[in-house]
Chain A
Amino acid sequence: GESVGLHLPTLSVQEGDNSIINCAYSNSASDYFIWYKQESGKGPQFIIDIRSNMDKRQGQRVTVLLNKTVKHLSLQIAATQPGDSAVYFCAENTQTGANNLFFGTGTRLTVIP
């Protein structure tokens, strides 16, 4: 089946620096991508999404970049704060089946004060 993977399982950044979390996907038919944040003891929380007709989308302190040529997705967090420490998942919508959202294993972001 399709796979959604992350380049690094853990990432540590200094408070105030920018963070970049990467994600590779394998299904070229995927047309919708979502980033989720999961804090300890909580369920995944929607952060930002992007459709395949875009290559960049910005939110509050977050930017998602989509490179369809190499099937790569990234989440950039500006001025990382301690509250950003969490596991970040990317998910791709493959447009197949009743539930077409596939999740990666996640990257744990740790912000060092």
Chain B
Amino acid sequence: ETGVTQTPRHLVMGMTNKKSLKCEQHLGHNAMYWYKQSAKKPLELMFVYSLEERVENNSVPSRFSPECPNSSHLFLHLHTLQPEDSALYLCASSLTTGDTQYFGPGTRLTVL
């Protein structure tokens, strides 16, 4: 256990559904991240939050909408996704944005 939990672990959704991914960290960290991991590709950074403020958004389509209500929780809201969005979505946290990141187990998302 790394102290970072993610729910659900698996999600299957249609292209017209709305769903949310949840991440929670119990490490007292101030920075949280969303990554997308597809087969045979490097980890793709999606969003970075520091002290609940978004500090980086790497040209992610608007059908992905992050939310960070406090430094321990991070959400990724999903709306009208495409089949190519199927991937493992990983959440991570670090003490600050320059420190070692600790990852959750990920949510395996399948878009039909």
Chain A: interface residue total (CB-CB under 8 A):
24
Q: How large is the interface on B (under 10, 10 to 19, 20 to 34, 35 or more residues)?
A: 20 to 34
A41 in contact (CB, < 8 A): yes
Query: Quick check: A105 and B40 within 8 Å, CB to CB?
Result: yes
Chain B residues positioned under 8 Å from A45 (CB to CB): 2, 103
Spell out A's residues near B (CB within 8 Å): 4, 32, 34, 36, 41-46, 49, 89, 93, 95, 97-106
Chain B residues positioned under 8 Å from A105 (CB to CB): 40-42
| Number of CB contacts from chain A to chain B under 8 A | 52
Taking the nearest CB of chain B, how far is it from the CB of A42, in angstroms?
5
Q: Assuming A34-B100, A98-B48, A98-B56, is B40 touching A43 (CB within 8 A)?
A: no
- Tell me the complex Cα distance, A97–B48, Å: 11
Query: Quick check: A99 and B103 within 8 Å, CB to CB?
Result: no
Query: Quick check: B105 and A41 within 8 Å, CB to CB?
Result: yes
Report B9-36 residues with CB < 8 Å from chain A CB: 33
Query: Quick check: B42 and A43 within 8 Å, CB to CB?
Result: no
Query: Quick check: A100 and B97 within 8 Å, CB to CB?
Result: yes
Query: Quick check: B90 and A99 within 8 Å, CB to CB?
Result: no
- Tell me the complex Cα distance, A32–B102, Å: 15
Q: Assuming A43-B106, A98-B56, is B42 touching A104 (CB within 8 A)?
A: yes
Query: Quick check: B106 and A101 within 8 Å, CB to CB?
Result: no
Most central of B42, B45, B92 by chain A CB within 10 Å: B42
- Tell me the complex Cα distance, A26–B26, Å: 34
Taking the nearest CB of chain A, how far is it from the CB of B105, in angstroms?
5
Report B66-112 residues with CB < 8 Å from chain A CB: 90, 92, 97-98, 100-106
